[in-house]
Amino acid sequence: MQVLTVRNRHNKPFTGVYDGVKYTIPEHGQMTLLRDIAIHLKQQSIFKSNPISGEKEYRLAIVEDGDEDTPLDSLPQETLDRTDMDLNKTKIVVVGNRPAVPVRGVGGNAITAKER
C-alpha cells in the first residue's frame, strides 16, 4: 500500500468523505493518506472543470504525483468553465404566436418552433 501526502491549497479546511469516514485537511495544511483515499478526496475537491477539454483544477494536490500545489486565495464562483462552448451562436426565433425557443445553427440549418 502506497502512502501519499495530500495538501490543501485553499485557506479554508477541506472535509471529504471516503467509505463513510470524514477526513478534514486544515487550511494550507497537509495529511498523509493511503493512495486510494488520497485520489478519492482529490476527486471530491474539483473547483473548476472544462466540459470541452476535460481539464480540471483541484483544491487538493497530491505532492508525490507532482500536482499543482500553489496556494489559492479564493475559489471562483463559477464552477463550470464555459468559455469553450458555442453558446454565443444560439439565437432566439419567434414564429407566430408560439413561444420563443433557442435555435442553434446558421441560416437554413436552423430548426424553428414551427418545424417541430
pLDDT tens digits for range 55-85: 898 999 999 999 988 888 777 665 555 566 6
Q: Which of 99, 104, 106, 105 is nearest to 114 (CA)?
A: 99
Is 49 within a domain? yes
When divided into structural domains, the chain yields a total of 1
Is 28 within a domain? yes
Average pLDDT, the chain: 79
Give residue 34's pLDDT band: very low, low, confident or very high (50, 70, 90).
Answer: very high
Per-residue confidence (pLDDT) for residue 81, from 0 to 100: 57
Is 87 within a domain? no
pTM of the shown model: 0.64
Is 85 within a domain? no
- In sequence order, the 6+-apart residues with CB closer than 8 A to the CB of 37 are 18, 23
H runs (alpha helix) in the chain:
35-44
> Which residue range forms the structural domain that includes residue 49?
3-65
Per-residue confidence (pLDDT) for residue 115, from 0 to 100: 47
The yes-or-no verdict on residue 19 having pLDDT over 60 is: yes
